[in-house]
Structure 1
């Protein structure tokens, strides 16, 4: 702050001098008479409070020129009492309503109160003028005649009393109306709020300013509120917005329409906003009901049209799907015979004519044999997948403990060769298709035995637990409240979870066939079996950290569940 003059406040005569110099500073800064008087009154109220309750009181008047902002005239009142921050003080509250910026802080001498208002004519604030102002204050006589003191004092007292009376009348009127009424600065800082707003929100003016209304505005509306406020404050002089405000008594967010109008000064700039909030919840509900009725009618018409089209297409679709599944089964079955001949002829060539074939020919025959073997496995997998659609067998009770032991028996040789530890927790008995479930778990265990890590002993664990629909990480065609989650967990090479959906698609592989054998159908069969039992399958993994495949089946298929 650039200091222009300082006044020691010891008695009423000093207050009159302070008031006179404050008015003169406002005049030099180009403020209107109303603004001069308002600012001087605010300074006088704080000075009088400091003179009454403190000691070693002084008033300093000056100019502040923040970077990038409008210059401001400032009054700084310092006294030696303990800090007054947070204490209720009637005169300081009056001053806070008269000027847009009041700061209370602790200084080296005790308490410090700063009041400031913007200078409308920035061009008058320059080094030459400021020097002239300071010279004026330094040379101004400080002696005032008693009559002038008395007259000024009476004027100030009358003005203050009229101001308090006007405020009381306005407060009584605003509190009696069923509206939330407020006044605020151009930036949205509340200056006043009636009792209705304070009671409805449960927040004081200070609390609302501190939180910027975030505790009472609906989350999605807060940003719109302040964006609209900033946009309108710089362009227009009135605006409306619809927002949801929390009722402190019920906790419910209720729609309100906020209407704000700006009070302008002589320069057509916003001095402050005056606004009110009206409950429009009932209106919004009526509008929403009418809109819902229109949408419901349109949706009903579209639904009837879709149902008609669906009836026409569903029969054709079922027939086409059945023919496609049967075609896949027949085609795969018919491919077996020529493939067996290719394998047999290749074997005869190697066994009976090995001496007559050069190494290149033997290598070609060996490659043909391996290709035929892969084709055999592929056809076998396609047959297994097609049977899922063409062979519908009734469900019966399946003891998963016995079924897993049978699958482990089939894989015993591979388990021994790879020295794999397999841990099986107690599993439930469920209603299901035993052949399909056997395919599912044989494919999952084969995968776990195939993709082992070279740097650690392979381990596989099979377990079951109860979960809810919210624990399932993938979409479900049919949704039930609770599910069985049966997991096959290994410590193998794992995979990147961004390929999660890809691994369950037909013929999709994450590794080359030269590194790991397979056709890319096994996990597709697993997913199909899970879905035919009303569930789904999901995988969790990280590269190098193993993989967990979890089959989610609805609790409605369970006969018994594992003990918790």
Structure 2
């Protein structure tokens, strides 16, 4: 796409220019008068809509090169406003003239694209397209308005150049230690350098739209008002002395204001300066008044004493900082932008074997040439450019020990980096301890695996002799003629065997939990609760139990383990009840503050809290941890059956799911088991 000409759409005169230049481009491309009129009319319809309702509208006339050297004239109208949404009639009319019209939205502009195929596009060469551009660049103005527009464009270019010149002037004026300003003929400040801006803002004023004399002590201004009026009339330089209001003080300044004239000798602006001469005026006044001089002398002595005290404090602070740096076990080194060493603490002396007085002020690459080879030099350059870095493990080529190293930029209030700090911490012993700890953990993991396998195999192998004891005891009990005491012995053997079998089965379940390698899937806890309720259907009917439940969520987990969790918790609530059991299962999602208040939970995750509340016999709160310990029972095994593993299994299952399990209770008041489970992996 070759852009030929660009036209802003601001008013009806622009519409005339668009129409004429569209016609002219179509004529240059060899279109007939009818085709020229058709295309220009369609473009004008949309352009008129942009002028009426648009925002920052402009049109670009281009020539687009198609396949087989075919070409088309393209008019693209850009607008911040969606013109088609405002009025579709101009679009409909333009579509009847040209056919398809494309619209799009790019880079915050709505685009309307109108095209017209050039019948003999092959004859329009690259050189000819360049001649079209040159033509419109040098084309005579269509009207006085068009001439003004061209002049305005040239003026904008000139303004850009003036802007660059103004920036250079502003840089110079801001760095001069005096207050500079430009005023118009009414005395209003149109420009103030950095020093004057800061002065004005310190008075609680806004720099724009205030007069220069409003900054002065008004009695002083009234004293030289006539001189200023004469300077305005005669277009001459004005000079005076006056006091500027600085908070509660009045500070003497030399005031110089000179006119800036144009070619017609008319004053367009005035440039002025405020130069602080307060010290000079104070001296003059004190020479006239010995008593005032004495007071100033006393003040100077007091300031001098205060300065001496501050210098003493500063010296002590420097000594203290140096003592702190030298007392640090970390090595600390500071360089400036020229890589010169400006701080070098005692630990660095010990590490490098170099004395502080030998290296201060020297280039670090001269003192330690090896840093150019091990990446330290690059980290220093980054820090001096304002980018901090951190090397968790770095082996020193000097001591061969390992260090954690930080490269920290030093910057002031202006965020200008003027140096860098290198802070290193010896982590050799820590790394060695970590390696030892890793080896111990690996050995411990191996031992745990061996113990788990042993528990699993031992528990599994114990089942077989127990089954035989139970079976043969039942057979003997049924086949022998026994008295009541003998039959009681056999019943005790059978009950003990069954209890032992249940205990071994629970140990096997606990062992399997420790070795579980199942993958997490999405689990519907409502489905699990319904399954467990079916398992307890007869017991629920027998005890006339009531189970109330909220709608439970879907969470990532292991289906069989979560089923066992619900089974054991419901079994526990149904077992430890002396009246009609009522079990309430509630669920809610914890907020961030609640998660942060529970140290066992990961603060970066979200959790569900599921409470299992019953009206059973309860227990003392002091035993709330003991009940989750394997083989720990709070009740008589003859009154309440069980092996003492069920709640330990529950705790293990919750931990396998990266959750947390607690319980609260009072004797005779039932118990609440709080299950915290992650809402996501």
TM range (shorter): 0.3 to 0.5
- Normalising to structure 1: TM-score of the pair? 0.46
Higher relative contact order (CA 8 A, sep 6+): 1
The structure that has the greater radius of gyration is: 2
- Normalising to structure 2: TM-score of the pair? 0.38
